[in-house]
Amino acid sequence: MQETHLTQLGQLATTPERPEDAVLERVPNPQAGTLYLARFTAPEFTSLCPVTGQPDFAHLVIDYAPGDWLIESKSLKLFLASFRNHGAFHEDCTVAVGKRIVETAEPLWLRIGGYWYPRGGIPIDVFWQSGPPPEGLWLPDQGVAPYRGRG
């Protein structure tokens, strides 16, 4: 098994001020070589509107097929929380989260669904994936209904 150095798991860690400051960590995948899907769900993701400074809220669903590495979940929580005071549009936040996970964990495949609550009366849903899914990968529905007063 590959060695890894974790700086946050089991340690006192504060929420980074900005996503750029967040340390997203990975751990060796004990099931490397097995095709499977792992899912992170963040139903209380928060960022700021870059124009008004008002809070925006989303339900993120992150599906990935791990390769040699897994995303360490505490570091993911801190990374996602770092968006709380970050001003960016929905599309930018959603895609940035997906790309950062791909950069760190080097999964076989990743998709992210950003199901944003309405801003100005319009919900904005954002979807990104790293490429076509591997053949044979089970892709369950992300489970977030089209907007009808999400909750």
Tokens of 2: 């590959």
> Which residues does the annotation mark as catalytic?
49, 56
Contacts of 92 (CB under 8 A, 6+ apart): none
Phi, psi of 95 (to 5 degrees): -70, -40
Q: Is residue 45 part of a domain?
A: yes
- What's 105's domain CATH number? 3.30.1130.10
Q: Is residue 15 part of a domain?
A: no
Q: Is residue 17 part of a domain?
A: no
Q: Is residue 63 part of a domain?
A: yes
> Residue 56 CA to chain centroid, in angstroms?
16
**pTM (whole model) above 0.75:** yes
pLDDT at residue 1 in the model: 42
Residue 88: C-alpha distances to residues 29, 39, 48 (Å) = 32, 24, 6
Q: Is residue 10 part of a domain?
A: no
Domains held by the chain: number: 1
Q: Is residue 61 part of a domain?
A: yes
Q: Is residue 149 part of a domain?
A: no
Q: pLDDT by residue for the chain (151 residues), tens digit each?
A: 445 676 655 566 788 789 999 999 999 999 999 999 999 999 999 999 999 999 999 999 999 999 999 999 999 999 999 999 999 999 999 999 999 999 999 999 999 999 999 888 888 999 999 999 999 999 999 998 776 665 5
Q: Is residue 110 part of a domain?
A: yes
Range of the domain at 78: 35-129
